[in-house]
Amino acid sequence: MDTHRNYENLDYAIGFGNHVETEALKGAVPKGQNSPQKCAYNLIAEQFSGTAFTLTRASNQKTWLYKIRPSAAHSPFVEAPEFGKYVKNDFMNDHGVTITPNQLRWKRLPLPEKPTTFAEGLVTVCGAGDPSIKQGIAIYLYAANKSMTNSSMFNSDGDFLIVPWEGEMLITTEMGKLTVKPREICVIPRGIKFSVEMNKPIRGYICEVFKGHFKIPDLGPIGANGLANPRDFLVPVAFYENTEEEFQIINKYLGKFYKCTKKGSPYDVVGWHGNYYPYKYNLDLFNAMGTVTFDHPDPSIFTVITCQTDEPGVAVCDFAIFPPRWMVAEHTFRPPYYHRNIMSEYMGNISGQYDAKEDGFQPGYGSLHSLFQGHGPDHESFEKWSNVDLQPIRYPYENLAFMFESTYMLKTCSFVMDDQVSLDHNYFHCWDKLAHNKLGDKP
Ligand SMILES: O=C(O)Cc1cc(O)ccc1O
Ligand SMILES: [Fe+2]
């Protein structure tokens, strides 16, 4: 599991969505123009477009890379069925899906028995749409125990929002290196080459959006500050490898995996400038808002980043967390209310407990509540929180669950529905006792 590169004391650029300019060798990024006739250090200029050229300036994303060799130089891609055995992206057909409206819960994905890299350890849980028309979403779990050495992957199908719950990920990308540990997240926008290394096994969750990119949400009446503040997002700085060694490049394209070989490292970007890059964020820096009077606010107040559909306010994915915070609501049932939702809710737990399911939802577990399926606290949590003395209490520091909330109707993959180890066939029993709730006297 040895790591190939040094990830100690990494520097980062700061801020969400900024135009960044970074050089590993002074003068690698040309001054005053993007593509000089000859670049400094004999570098090759390559534009990397993350949005259509003609998108509005506010939404336009691109980066200019100054590379030792152009990305074009590699052997042809061939199919690589050894990758993606448990990856499904085309949800427009019902091949390999087991559709159910039921409330679902899964225990954690077991660690791999054989050496498995991040690229090999992806399991699609559920999704909707199809990357070929840039519409939809896929939700994955990953479990890996082997670093990607001289191997790099890129995903043509969508942006990856990675939420680790176990083990630190050491990620090298074309724009530089970043480390991502539990309680941090990172986004690897589509197309960017990356390799994942590790010192210990890693497990976590991923949301892939087939259209658009993640943004920090507008704050409306909250004002200019709060929730995830732009300055807390960290962006890698230029890092390059100058080697003649052969690399394997893996490409996820329309949900299938392809591979090719390339002389030299894809991480040969000596300098870059632009606003299309991977980034990370420490969830403990989230400035949570909440009620200081009564009632349980909707979880949209905890949105960290969002990828919107073409209808503003309706998300491909809202990534919301349930962070440690003071809970002070008076004469209020404090955990999540019972509810039915037009959105799909996939939840995971990064650490500690979740107040709606105190014992039933451990780190690494996942749940899916599809459209209009009633859900809410289990019986034990309902009893506890209906009768507790309502003092101000601190939701414990270690607790951190999250939700991928999507407008799409998610289809579940057969391999996670058939999995006798992980699927919790008894989930629905957590509300059994509530079926006996009786009409009582008005207090
Ligand atoms: O179902 C859940 O536990 C997630 C959730 C939390 C909350 O505080 C309000 C609504 C909601 O869907
Ligand atoms: Fe919910």
pLDDT in tens, 78-126: 999 999 999 999 999 999 999 999 999 999 999 999 999 999 999 999 9
How far is ligand 1, taken at its centre, from the CA of residue 369, in Å? 10
Binding-site sequence positions for homogentisate: 354, 375
Mean per-residue pLDDT for 394-418? 96
Give the pLDDT band of residue 3 (cuts 50, 70, 90): confident
State the Cα–Cα distance between residues 324 and 396, nearest whole angstrom.
6
Q: What is the mean pLDDT of residues 325-331?
A: 98
Alpha carbon of 407 to ligand 2 centroid (Å): 13
Q: What are phi and psi of 291, to 5 degrees?
A: -70, 145
* pTM over 0.95, yes/no: yes
The pLDDT of 22-40, averaged and rounded, is: 98
Q: Which residues pair with 346 in a beta bridge?
A: 368, 404
Indicate whether this complex's ipTM tops 0.95: yes
Residue nearest to atom 6 of ligand 1 (CA): 336
Give the list of residues 6+ apart from residue 164 with CB closer than 8 angstroms, or none.
Answer: 180, 181, 182, 184, 185, 202, 203, 204, 350
Distances (CA, A) of 371 to 42, 80, 304, 314, 341: 56, 36, 22, 14, 6
Instruction: Give the sign of the dihedral formed by CA 155, CA 145, CA 358, CA 397.
Output: negative
Task: For residue 389, give both structure tokens.
Answer: 């003395």
Which residues are the active-site residues? 296
Q: Do domains 12-283 and 285-409 have the same CATH topology?
A: yes
- Confidence at residue 355, expressed as pLDDT on a 0 to 100 scale: 87
285-409 belongs to CATH 2.120.10.30: no
Any ligand 1 atom below 6 A from CB of 336: yes
- Given a cut of 80, is residue 443 above it in pLDDT? no
The mean per-residue pLDDT over the stretch 401-412 comes to 98
**CB 111: neighbour CB atoms within 10 A?**
15
Kindly state the average pLDDT of the residues 405-421: 94
Q: Is 62 in the pocket of ligand 1 (CB under 6 A)?
A: no
- 12-283 fold: Jelly Rolls (2.60.120)
356 lines ligand 1 (CB under 6 A): yes
Q: Report whether pLDDT(2) > 90.
A: no
Ligand 1 test: best mutation among 302, 322, 343, 357, most atoms within 8 Å of CB?
Answer: 322
Strand partners, 251: 154, 258
Atom of ligand 1 nearest to the CA of 354: 3
Does ligand 1 lie within 6 Å of residue 403's CB atom? yes
Query: Is the C-beta atom of 368 inside 6 A of ligand 1?
Result: no
Question: Which residues place a Cβ less than 5 A from the ion ligand 2?
Answer: 345
Sketch the domain layout of the chain as residue ranges: 12-283, 285-409
Give the pLDDT confidence of 349-388 residue by residue, as tens digits: 999 999 888 888 999 999 999 999 999 999 999 999 999 9
Cα gap 248→83, rounded to integer Å: 13
Whether the pLDDT of residue 1 is over 70: the answer is no
